[in-house]
């Protein structure tokens, strides 16, 4: 069996966006042959993620808070609150599309302005957005959620043969429903419908409130010391 090699470059240390007291550093994949759907499929199952066409993995010197997590969609059991949220979906409509709706930017702009005015993505910019979500070598789909035919949420999703990966979502910022959670529940439902086992929602960071919601979807696995360990809430 041919041994696979992986060349990484390290970014300079910088301030962590999730844990202010920490410094972060990323290992970035430098080998072009890995920048394919099959290559990234192997890498995401090894704890890597992508930002645009850049595939990376946290390699911080003094912190290992970012834990890769994946939801077992074939055995997913919703909690009581998730069952209530699934019932809310009966009043909504959704589609999994290859292209964004024409009015996507107005929704994205509202979301960034209200939720992330102090972040690096403000003000909302189309070119910056596509640099962040796009990769010419990746199969990407767009989950659209509607209420009374009005677009209220979009979840950008990478599509693999046996899994989906949640890339980014945005939604009506002042909506009374938990639209971020509903997007994840729908991505799990799409995995069910297409017989895909895994949803990769990104890194779990226990100490960061914005990033610790992923463990609510059960059963799931965490990648610990190179091994996927099953966990049930």
pLDDT of residue 212: 84
* Span 87-124, pLDDT tens digits: 999 999 999 999 999 999 999 999 999 998 888 889 99
CA neighbor of 157 nearest in space, from 202, 112, 187: 187
Q: 114-168: per-residue pLDDT in tens?
A: 998 888 889 999 999 999 999 999 999 999 999 999 999 999 999 999 999 999 9
- Clarify whether residues 36 and 61 are in a common domain: yes
Q: What's the rounded Cα separation, in Å, for the pair 73 and 30? A: 32
Of 204, 33, 37, 22, which Cα lies nearest the Cα of 137?
Answer: 37
SS3 track for 123-159: CCCHHHHHHHHCCCCCCEEEEEEEECCEEEEEEEEEE
Q: Which domain holds residue 217?
A: 69-231
Residue 2 pLDDT > 50? no
- Domain count for the chain: 2
Looking at the fold, whether 164 and 208 belong to one and the same domain comes out as yes
Mean pLDDT over 191-203 rounds to 97
Same domain as 100, residue 50: no
How many residues are listed for the chain in this entry?
A: 233
pLDDT of residue 164: 98
Give the closest residue to 142 by CA, choosing from 111, 112, 166: 166
* pLDDT class of 32 with cuts at 50, 70, 90: confident
Residues 107 and 134 in one domain: yes
Q: Does 3 fall in a domain?
A: no
CA dist 64 and 58 (Å) reads: 8
Mean pLDDT of 68-85: 96
Which of 1-5, 19-23, 103-107 has maximum average pLDDT? 103-107
Residues 145 and 173 in one domain: yes
pLDDT for position 1 = 35
Examine the domain organization and report whether 50 and 140 are in the same domain. no
Q: What's this model's pTM, rounded to 2 decimal places?
A: 0.94
Average pLDDT of every residue of the chain: 94
Question: Hunting for tokens 């209200």 — which residue is that?
Answer: 114
Helices 80-88/179-193 angle, 10° precision: 90
Higher pLDDT, 209 or 54: 54
pLDDT at 173: 96
């Amino acid at each position: 069996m041919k041994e696979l090699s992986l060349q990484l470059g390290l970014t300079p240390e910088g301030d962590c966006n999730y844990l202010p007291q920490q410094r972060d550093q990323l290992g970035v994949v430098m080998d072009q042959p890995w920048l394919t759907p099959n290559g990234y499929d192997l890498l995401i199952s090894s704890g890597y993620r992508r930002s645009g066409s850049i595939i990376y993995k946290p390699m911080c010197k003094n912190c290992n808070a970012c834990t890769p997590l994946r939801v077992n969609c074939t055995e997913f059991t919703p909690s009581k609150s998730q069952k209530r949220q699934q019932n809310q979906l009966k009043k909504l409509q959704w589609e999994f599309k290859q292209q964004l709706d024409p009015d996507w930017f107005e929704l994205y702009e509202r979301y960034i302005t209200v939720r992330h005015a102090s972040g690096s993505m403000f003000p909302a910019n189309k070119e910056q957005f596509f640099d962040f979500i796009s990769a010419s070598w990746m199969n990407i789909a767009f989950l659209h959620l509607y209420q009374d035919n009005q677009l209220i949420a979009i979840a950008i999703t990478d599509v693999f043969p046996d899994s989906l990966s949640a890339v980014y979502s945005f939604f009506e910022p002042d909506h009374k429903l938990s639209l971020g959670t509903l997007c994840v529940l729908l991505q799990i439902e799409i995995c069910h419908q297409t017989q895909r086992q895994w949803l990769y929602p990104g890194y779990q960071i226990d100490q960061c409130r914005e990033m610790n919601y992923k463990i609510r979807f059960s059963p799931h696995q965490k990648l610990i010391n190179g091994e996927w360990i099953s966990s049930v809430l």
